[in-house]
Amino acid sequence: MKIPNVMTAEDAVKLIKSGDRVLIQGGSATPQALIKAMVARGPELKGVEICHIHTEGECGYIAPELRESFHTSAFFIGGNVRKMVGDTVDYIPIFLSDIPSLFRLGHMPLDVVLVNVSPPDQHGFCSLGVSVDIVLAGVEQGKTVIAQINPRMPRTFGDAQIHLRNFTACVEISEEIHEMKFVTPSDEEKAIGKNIAAIIEDGATLQMGIGGIPNAVLTYLTNHKNLGVHTEMFSEGIVDLVERGVVNGSQKKTNPYKIVSGFAMGTRRLYDFMDNNPEIEMRDIAYVNDTAIIRQNPKVTAINSAIEIDITGQVCADSIGSRMFSGVGGQMDFMRGAALSVGGKPIIAITSATQKGVSKIVPMLKHGAGVVTTRAHARFVATEYGVAELFGRTLKQRAQALRDIAHPEHREELDKAIFERFGSSLAIK
């Protein structure tokens, strides 16, 4: 299939004008060639707003010397832009599931969208590959769509197929997809993984992210049966379970026998597994993270992380005090969706203390900390010392349950806080 409107990256980004709002595809699909060409034009541009969830790789548009040219409005703060939050980067607090509606309902009109897609098939359809999430809505609504046609991008299905006619300009370039190496779980994370795996039932539908704790959980699921996956993102730990037959999706009510996700991050092994694999459905995040969809699956087990949790169950996952660190993301979408699922288990998983020995279970959240998951939504909290079940428990009972899974060095301090707040450190079990 002949590709129309082919040009160099340098010529393509000339379509970006001062004052434009530009959406960049994120995650492992971040289109680096287009970003670098856009940044090179920085001195010619004024007041360009850059929007994205987290991106991977270089992001020269946040450089302080280009603050008159570019300003970033991030829906989620990745490590590559975190240092410039409050300067050239601002954060928009929003549920991941709600972001597509910003574009579709006209709250944030998009002038330009930059994407990284597979080459077209014989019918002219390219694939958004490893990142459909919020960018599908952007492609639908953007006035100008610039596509990086990349043979390294795996061809995926679901909502990922986009026809060449949707692209204003095409740039042919072979660029490696960003790889996220496997994180070897620490001893504490292995213990958490074992604790969580013990409460995951056969036939459950899983949602989990990337990192030491999710990787640890996956390694303890090899003897489970008939698991399904419906998750905003997945990594290559899932591949092992698929190959063992542990994950088959046979019990799912929505998209049975399919792995449903919004984006994926891993190594080339994962991307090769995804390529032309009809078992994988990469879907619009408005669908993936819709609680009405999530709840239809059985025993949805959602595993999410936190920065700190207070003794009543309030979960801070987006900031360290008033300093923004990441974002709301899809945590609440899946915490609530899992809670509404028959037999579902919404789980917050954390190590009991930071690497510096500071307790993550605290009497009160830090001043200015954001509550991502409210105390009413928190049901299970797992550390290396066990799992606290909070659903239906009083504040005092919750405090005691959380104290019991805190690091032993901090339990005396928590006992004192419980006594000062509730008049007793002992709760009716």
DSSP H helical segments within 130-248, as ranges? 135-141, 187-197, 212-219, 237-243
Nearest to 183 by CA among 193, 194, 175, 197: 193
Residues with Cβ < 8 Å from 385, sequence gap 6 or more?
Answer: 191, 352, 404, 405, 406, 407, 408
Q: Report the alpha-carbon distance of residue 129 to residue 147 in Å, rounded.
A: 13
Q: Report the alpha-carbon distance of residue 144 to residue 166 in Å, rounded.
A: 9
The DSSP H or E segment spanning 301 is: strand 300-304
Residues paired with 112 in a beta bridge: 22, 144
Residues paired with 388 in a beta bridge: 381
Residues paired with 96 in a beta bridge: none
- The packing angle between helices 411-422 and 395-404, to 10°, is 170
The DSSP H or E segment spanning 361 is: strand 361-362
Contacts 24+ apart (CB under 8 A), 411-417: 413/359, 413/363, 414/311, 414/359, 414/361, 414/363, 417/311, 417/363
The percent helix, strand, coil of the chain (3-state, each to 5) is: 30, 25, 50
Chain centroid, CA 238 distance in Å: 16
State the DSSP code for 42.
G
Of 175, 232, 236, 384, which one is the catalytic site residue? Answer: 232
Q: Extract the tokens encoding 207.
A: 């949602």
Q: Determine whether 232 is an active site residue.
A: yes
315-316 and 308-310: which strand pairing?
A: antiparallel
Judge whether 307 and 277 are in contact, CB under 8 Å. no
Q: Report the alpha-carbon distance of residue 73 to residue 144 in Å, rounded.
A: 19
Nearest to 71 by CA among 20, 27, 141: 20
Q: Extract the tokens encoding 122.
A: 């014989």
Q: Extract the tokens encoding 414.
A: 């928590």
Residues with Cβ < 8 Å from 59, sequence gap 6 or more?
Answer: 35, 72, 80, 81
CA angle 31, 33, 39 (to 5 degrees): 100
Catalytic residues: 232
